[in-house]
Amino acid sequence: MPSSECDARENTMLKLIGWRLVQLPFILLAVYSITFALAWVIPGNPLEKDGRRPPPEVMEAMSESYNLNDPVGFYTGYLWKASGGAWLAGDRDGPVFNFGPSLRHENWTVNEIIASQLPVSMVLGFTAMVIAMILGITAGVLGAVRPRSWLDSLTIAVSLVGISFPAFVVGVVLLIVFSVWLGWFPVGGWGTWKHVALPAIALSLPFAAYIAQFTRSGMSEQLASDHIRTARAKGLSERVVVMKHALKNAFLPVLSYLGPATAAAMTGSFVVEKVFAVPGIGTHFVDAVLGKDITVLMGIVLVYATMLTLFNLLVDVAYRFVDPRVH
pLDDT at 23 over 60: yes
Q: What is the pTM of this model?
A: 0.77
pLDDT at 146 over 80: no
Give the confidence band of 98 by pLDDT, cuts at 50, 70, 90. Answer: confident
Helix (H, G, I), strand (E, B) or coil at 111: helix
Portion of the chain with pLDDT greater than 70, in percent: 82
In the chain, the amino acid numbered 196 is V
User: What pLDDT sits at residue 192?
Assistant: 84
pLDDT at 264 over 80: no
List the chain domain ranges: 118-293
Q: Which of 135, 173, 169 is nearest to 155 (CA)?
A: 135
- DSSP at 181: I
- DSSP at 277: T
Task: Give the whole-angstrom CA distance, residue 303 versus residue 249.
Answer: 33
Task: Give the whole-angstrom CA distance, residue 211 versus residue 166.
Answer: 16
- What number is the average pLDDT over the span 30-51? 77
Report yes or no: 175 and 151 within 8 Å, Cβ to Cβ. no
Q: How far apart are the first and last CA of the chain?
A: 16
Identify which of 11-20, 45-54, 303-312 has the greatest average pLDDT. 303-312
pLDDT at 151 over 80: no
Task: Give the whole-angstrom CA distance, residue 262 versus residue 265.
Answer: 5
Task: Give the whole-angstrom CA distance, residue 265 versus residue 46.
Answer: 28
Task: Give the whole-angstrom CA distance, residue 319 versus residue 325.
Answer: 10
pLDDT at 8 over 70: no
pLDDT at 28 over 80: yes
Report yes or no: 226 and 246 within 8 Å, Cβ to Cβ. no
Helix (H, G, I), strand (E, B) or coil at 30: helix
pLDDT at 66 over 70: no
The values of phi and psi at residue 49, to 5°, are -130, 125
Portion of the chain with pLDDT greater than 90, in percent: 1
If one compares 17 and 171, the residue with the highest pLDDT of the two is 171
The values of phi and psi at residue 93, to 5°, are -70, -30
Q: Which of 297, 263, 279 is nearest to 120 (CA)?
A: 279
Give the CATH fold of the 118-293 domain.
Answer: MetI-like fold (1.10.3720)
pLDDT in tens, 190-237: 878 888 888 998 888 888 888 888 888 877 777 777 777 776 777 666
Exposed e or buried b per residue across 233-250, where buried means at least 16 C-beta atoms within 10 angstroms of its C-beta: eeeeeeeebbeebbbebb
pLDDT at 327 over 60: no
Counted residue by residue, the chain has a size of 327
pLDDT at 5 over 70: no
User: What pLDDT sits at residue 262?
Assistant: 79
pLDDT at 295 over 60: yes
Task: Give the whole-angstrom CA distance, residue 303 versus residue 305.
Answer: 6
Average pLDDT, the chain: 78
Give the confidence band of 63 by pLDDT, cuts at 50, 70, 90. Answer: low
pLDDT in tens, 297-320: 888 888 888 888 887 777 777 666
From the CA atom positions of the chain, what is the Rg in Å? 24
Task: Give the whole-angstrom CA distance, residue 134 versus residue 143.
Answer: 14
